[in-house]
Amino acid sequence: MEDNFSNYFSETGKVAREYVETRLDLIKLQAAGKLSRALGLFFSLVMAFLLFFLAVVFLGMVLGFWIGELTNSYATGFSCSAGLFIVLLLLILVFRKSLIQRPLSNLLVKELVEEIELKKEEKERRKEEEREEEYHENI
For the chain (length 139 residues), average pLDDT per consecutive 10? Answer: 68 84 84 79 87 93 94 94 93 85 80 77 83 76
Q: Residue 30: its pLDDT value, please?
A: 81
Q: Which domain holds residue 134?
A: 96-139
Q: Residue 117: its pLDDT value, please?
A: 80
Within-domain flag for 13: no
Within-domain flag for 103: yes
Within-domain flag for 57: no
Within-domain flag for 58: no
Give the distance from CA 78 to its chain's centroid: 38
Domains: count for the chain? 1
Within-domain flag for 133: yes
Give the CA-trace dihedral at 129, 132, 137, 139, to 10 degrees: -170
Within-domain flag for 130: yes
Amino acid (1-letter code) at residue 110 = K
